[in-house]
Amino acid sequence: MGSGTIYKRGNSWCVGFVVNGRRVRETVGPNKKIAERVLSLRMTQVLENRYFPPNRQLGRMPFKDFAQMYLEREGALLKSIRTERNRVLAWAREFGNRPLGQITRTEIEAWRREKMARCRPATINRDLSRLRRMFSLAVEWELLEESPMAGIRFLRENNARTRYLSLEECQRLIASCIAPHIRALVTVALHSGMRLGEILDLHWYDLDFASGFILVRDSKNGESRHVPMDATLFALFRAYPRRPGTDLVFSSRCGGRIVDVRTGFQNACKRAELTDLHFHDLRHTFASQFVMAGGDLYILKEILGHKSLAMTTRYSHLSPTYKIKAIDRMNTLWAGAQPQISTSEMLLDDSSVTAASQATYQDRSQPLTPATDAALSI
């Protein structure tokens, strides 16, 4: 037995009906009456057991086999091959040998609800995004009639976390790193703002000691960028031992890419008595200290590799003079031949401004001194 409906998609009328528990959809054309007649014909065929799907194998491929096909065809095109490959394999473990056509939207939504209790929304969304791409290609490759991801909404993400360390806490953390490679990785992150994956992917030929820049070839936004080396990083890389047989700056004992730094990093955090700290927070620390030292947000954007300034402006509140300096640029722009007094001077001369509010507007940030730099050195 079966039941069916007609509906309009774009400029075309479609018929949908269920046969043997399987949903079938068919595009008819712009004429509604013809669509009604086609639906009546299909329902008769279903009732008389005379309806045969155009492709009897549609949706029958085991998900594990499809996942392997997906990696073979698309693996080389993935942005972060290792991370995305792990996501694909995780979905293969989730669905196993079940046919593609048996996986439903309901169970994907149930998976999402279960993950929400222990995973961040961003993590769940990245996993769902990979699954959506897989099912879309399954439809494109004529392995599946319709993706079960249709209509599934992603979770709202909160990317406002800006946990950062003081210089004293940075010093404690570095001193608490026992393993030399963990200490080096932490130092590079604090002095460059690079992501952990970018640091672990560094090769010796990416370090240009002549110009004093680090080349990040494969960044998150898909574009390469140059990160300046300060004196601490310059000395660290010059002194860091090279492992024979590999061009990686930081490598495992067998010369491959380091896979896990979480255990060593978390142990160092415990010894330093730092709670709720992730390795990515070291990137926030670099950015925050850069801004508090009077650094320009546009330069910070280029160093961090943000595609838009909106991501960088989350640090602007750490510099009380940032907006005032922007106004001073406008003063200069419109000054012409007449000298203009700066906004800071006007605020200081205004008798209505209290001592406390003056302190708010004064530029108290100081450039990093050798002593400050030494506080972060290994």
Tens digit of each residue's pLDDT (9 = 90 or more) over 57-104: 678 899 999 999 999 888 777 766 677 888 999 999 999 999 998 899
| 38-42, 52-56, 78-82, 189-193: the lowest-pLDDT one | 52-56
CA dist list (Å): 336 to 324, 325, 331, 340, 342: 20, 18, 9, 9, 14
Average pLDDT over residues 9-31: 82
Distance (Å, rounded) from C-alpha 190 to C-alpha 285? 7
pTM above 0.85, yes or no: no
Cβ–Cβ under 8 Å, residues 136 and 147:
yes
The pLDDT of residue 286: 95
Q: Using pLDDT thresholds of 50, 70 and 90, give the confidence band for residue 161.
A: low
The residue with greater pLDDT, 311 or 277, is 277
Distance (Å, rounded) from C-alpha 52 to C-alpha 58? 12
How large is the angle between the packed helices 81-95 and 63-74, nearest 10 degrees?
A: 170
At 118, the amino acid letter reads: R
Task: Please state the φ and ψ torsions of residue 226, each to the nearest 5 degrees.
Answer: -110, 130
